[in-house]
């Protein structure tokens, strides 16, 4: 067997395995650990911080700055419960978290949905190396807002 054929076979096999990766919720929760750390936007003064608290909980905070004051703040959680993964978001002075259920997962991409929430209905996280793309949109894919972040 020649070397190029062998390498091509290995590459195709690895590609097929990763392209077909659709984790169970417990695995998807573990995959989210890659988000742990500090992230900042290059476009605007927006930041996200994530910390792994346990094997079923990550806590985070997102905020934007306006002249060194926090203009926007939200508390967030990823958590695993009843064989599901959820993203919980609480903005400003709200008392309750709004829940988004994980509906799609890949190794480096997660889609959370809450069809009853006014806006957003869909929150997506996608990571590539030290780049994180977080987006929010309505259930029809309209009114999409993207936050391009880099690991700090």
Q: Which two tokens stand for residue 90?
A: 């609480």
pLDDT tier for residue 139 given thresholds of 50, 70 and 90: confident
Q: pTM of the predicted model, to two decimals?
A: 0.83
* Cα dihedral 105, 97, 73, 44 sign: positive
Lowest mean pLDDT among 4-8, 18-22, 61-65: 4-8
Q: Does pLDDT of 8 surpass 70?
A: no
Per-residue pLDDT reduced to its tens digit, 101-121: 999 999 999 999 999 999 999
Measure the CA–CA gap between 103 and 139, rounded to whole angstroms. Answer: 12
Residue-range domains of the chain with CATH? 23-151 (2.40.128.20)
Q: Give the residue among 58, 62, 2, 51 at the shortest CA–CA distance from 29.
A: 58
pLDDT at 129: 94
Q: Does pLDDT of 4 surpass 90?
A: no
**Percentages helix, strand, coil for the chain, rounded to the nearest 5?**
20, 50, 30
Mean pLDDT of 11-23: 61
3-state secondary structure of 28: helix
Q: Does pLDDT of 127 surpass 70?
A: yes
Q: Are 77 and 58 in contact (CB under 8 A)?
A: yes
Per-residue pLDDT reduced to its tens digit, 21-74: 789 999 999 999 999 999 999 778 889 999 999 999 999 999 988 776 667 899
């Amino acid at each position: 067997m020649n070397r190029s054929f062998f390498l091509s076979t290995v590459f195709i096999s690895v590609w097929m395995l990763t392209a077909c990766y659709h984790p169970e919720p417990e695995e998807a929760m573990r995959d989210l650990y890659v988000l742990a750390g500090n992230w900042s936007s290059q476009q605007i003064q927006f930041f996200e911080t994530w910390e792994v608290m346990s094997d079923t909980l990550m806590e985070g905070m997102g905020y934007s700055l306006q002249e060194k004051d926090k203009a926007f703040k939200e508390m967030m959680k990823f958590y695993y419960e009843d064989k599901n993964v959820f993203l919980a978001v609480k903005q400003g002075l709200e008392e309750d978290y709004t829940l988004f259920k994980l509906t799609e997962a890949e190794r480096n991409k997660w889609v959370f949905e809450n069809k009853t929430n006014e806006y957003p209905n869909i929150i997506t996280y996608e990571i590539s190396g030290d780049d994180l793309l977080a987006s929010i949109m309505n259930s029809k894919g309209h009114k999409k807002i993207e936050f391009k972040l880099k690991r700090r």
